[in-house]
């Protein structure tokens, strides 16, 4: 068979979309391909919320820190870890579900994330553009309210989907050698770390990032501006509370 | 461009592999495509352990509950949430990393899982077969020992990879209507649950499953045999301890 996957190498995240809609039939084809993704025990413990309604997307907008794609893309897909449907099926069939624990949350989150990525690849293969919103795990508690997610359901990622209006430059990536370990994990030497990140640091956009934020190193832009400890700690507390509230911490 | 993605609809998990190897060049091409996957803030906080050595795979085998693919497939890929590399880079650049918390674990796990799925799709597009091993989150503590994963690194999923020897029947899937919610989540009625799962229950392999396990419903095979509460609770405790030990619960 051998399908040409070169588009995977050329891809980039799309943040500017045409006003053109994504037809329902097209979206259904993409979702059907997504639903063939492997899931643990074929339990399919995930759900996909397809949000097109502009009023609901307006409500989601601040929860995604006002990233404009939420209202500018025609479709927002929220991928949820979902044991609710499976639990209901168990109860209707004289079976007592035991999925109100952290392992089960991870099982369901893995299902949801693998399906999300198949859907993104299927969409990109059709010329559509996607953007992942990492804000989902920060603001899960509020997304749960807007999307009316019941017990047993937690949003784990969100994808905006539409026809690309602007193709940005491809961002940098670390060399594969930085990511891949042979046989077992090999701890990095300081010199390896410097080498692996040197191209990233040398980029003009990185230098600009450092200047704009009045920092001396690129790493400080991450630790002091973009992904700060105090925020991470704060949102960790909220996310763990979400898992409790949604019924995944009863072990 | 429009790449034909029909193979995504036809795919199935492969558990029997030919003895033929997966060439390093081919695997590198696949991994390079994987590394173009979106990651939070382009931090790429994941690692991939490529294990071919048969002695190391023999050590992994019991940790994956003796699923024979671990030693029969030529390649085992362990996908890890990994903040170790990024943290080291921060420290070398006068930046204080704040990623020793649960939110950061989720960020890194999401990175690792999305990349894993791109790699699986890239492999399948080339005619290779894959099998996900959900046992990774159960036995993370032991996998950490065998693969020598340092602080800041947690394995989240494992994939066996090779040339298919046997193509099994495609398993059932719920109708997409069971998975997809329009605009917001719509709670299921009992009748909907019965309808969505009826085809699954009617299959001969499901009936056989019920008979073999001396149960009265298919759901009981899941709750009482395959994914039992007591196991889930036990492994939840271990997994939370792993997150603590690997430095992700310091909030």
CA distance A68 to chain B (A): 17
pLDDT in tens, A194-224: 999 999 999 999 999 999 999 999 999 999 9
Cβ–Cβ under 8 Å, residues B47 and A179: yes
**Chain A residue numbers touching B86 (CB-CB < 8 A):** 222
Measured distance CA(B35)–CA(B31) in Å, rounded: 6
Do the chains contact at A49 and B183, CB–CB below 8 Å?
yes
Average pLDDT over residues A75-93: 98
* ipTM of this complex: 0.98
pLDDT at A10 over 70: yes
Do the chains contact at B193 and A157, CB–CB below 8 Å?
no
pLDDT in tens, B67-113: 999 999 999 999 999 999 999 999 999 999 999 999 999 999 999 99
Domain ranges of chain A: 10-169
Count, residues in chain A: 251
Average pLDDT over residues B222-240: 97
Average pLDDT over residues A134-149: 98
Do the chains contact at A117 and B113, CB–CB below 8 Å?
yes
Measured distance CA(A7)–CA(A12) in Å, rounded: 10
Q: What backbone torsions phi and psi does residue A133 show, to the nearest 5 degrees?
A: -110, 105
Strand, helix or coil at B128? coil
Measured distance CA(B46)–CA(B115) in Å, rounded: 9
CA distance B176 to chain A (A): 7
Measured distance CA(B237)–CA(B96) in Å, rounded: 30
Residues of chain A above pLDDT 90, percent:
99
pLDDT in tens, B207-227: 999 999 999 999 999 999 999
Do the chains contact at A179 and B122, CB–CB below 8 Å?
no
User: So what's the pLDDT on residue A2?
Assistant: 86
**Chain A residue numbers touching B210 (CB-CB < 8 A):** none
pLDDT at A1 over 90: no
User: So what's the pLDDT on residue A76?
Assistant: 98
Do the chains contact at A95 and B217, CB–CB below 8 Å?
yes
Nearest to A106 by CA among B225, B239, B13, B234: B239
- pLDDT mean across residues, chain B: 97
User: So what's the pLDDT on residue B2?
Assistant: 86
**Chain B residue numbers touching A42 (CB-CB < 8 A):** 171-173
- pLDDT mean across residues, chain A: 97
**Chain B residue numbers touching A197 (CB-CB < 8 A):** 89
- Decide: residue B3, CB within 10 A, 0-12 exposed, 13-18 middle, 19+ buried: middle
**Chain A residue numbers touching B46 (CB-CB < 8 A):** 179
Do the chains contact at A94 and B56, CB–CB below 8 Å?
no
Residue of A nearest to B233 (CA): A251
pLDDT in tens, B134-185: 999 999 999 999 999 999 999 999 999 999 999 999 999 999 999 999 999 9
Name the class of domain B10-169.
Answer: alpha beta
Widest pairwise Cα distance in chain A: 63
The DSSP symbol for B40 reads: G
Do the chains contact at B227 and A187, CB–CB below 8 Å?
no
User: So what's the pLDDT on residue B171?
Assistant: 94
The minimal CB distance from B5 to the residues A33, A47, A150 is found for A33
Query: Six-digit token pair at A200?
Result: 């990233």
pLDDT in tens, A146-190: 999 999 999 999 999 999 999 999 999 999 999 999 999 999 999
Measured distance CA(A35)–CA(A114) in Å, rounded: 10
Residue of B nearest to A119 (CA): B8
What stretches of A149-221 show up as alpha helix (H) in DSSP? 176-179, 190-202, 204-212, 218-221
The minimal CB distance from B92 to the residues A34, A190, A232 is found for A190
Average pLDDT over residues A66-72: 98
Do the chains contact at B179 and A4, CB–CB below 8 Å?
no
User: So what's the pLDDT on residue B1?
Assistant: 61
A38 band by pLDDT with thresholds 50, 70 and 90: very high
Measured distance CA(A102)–CA(B240) in Å, rounded: 8
Residue of B nearest to A223 (CA): B97
pLDDT in tens, B7-33: 999 999 999 999 999 999 999 999 999
Do the chains contact at B35 and A157, CB–CB below 8 Å?
no
**Which residue's structure tokens are 């068979």?**
A1
Average pLDDT over residues B185-192: 98
Do the chains contact at B32 and A185, CB–CB below 8 Å?
no
Widest pairwise Cα distance in chain B: 63
pLDDT at A94 over 70: yes
């Amino acid at each position: 068979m051998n399908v040409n996957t070169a588009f995977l190498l050329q891809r980039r995240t799309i943040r500017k979309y045409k006003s053109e809609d994504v037809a329902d039939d097209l979206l259904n084809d993409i979702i059907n391909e997504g639903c063939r993704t492997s899931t643990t025990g074929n339990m399919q413990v995930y759900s996909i919320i397809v949000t097109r309604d502009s009023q609901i997307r307006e409500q989601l907008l601040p929860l995604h820190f006002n990233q404009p794609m939420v209202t500018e893309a025609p479709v927002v897909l929220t991928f949820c870890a979902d044991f609710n449907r499976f639990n209901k099926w168990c109860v209707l069939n004289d079976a007592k579900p035991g999925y109100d624990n952290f392992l089960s949350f991870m099982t369901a989150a893995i299902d949801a994330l693998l399906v999300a990525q198949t859907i993104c690849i299927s969409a990109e293969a059709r010329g559509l553009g996607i953007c992942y919103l990492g804000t989902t795990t920060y603001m899960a508690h509020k997304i749960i309210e807007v999307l009316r997610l019941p017990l047993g359901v937690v949003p784990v990622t969100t994808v905006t989907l539409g026809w690309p209006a602007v193709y940005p430059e491809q961002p940098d990536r670390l060399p594969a050698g930085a990511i891949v370990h042979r046989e077992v994990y090999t701890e990095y030497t300081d010199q390896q770390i410097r080498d692996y990140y040197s191209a990233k640091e040398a980029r003009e956009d990185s230098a600009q990032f450092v200047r704009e934020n009045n920092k001396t190193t690129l790493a400080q832009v991450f630790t002091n501006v973009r992904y700060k400890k105090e925020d991470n700690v704060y949102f960790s507390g909220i996310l763990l509370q979400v898992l409790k509230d949604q019924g995944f911490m009863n072990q």
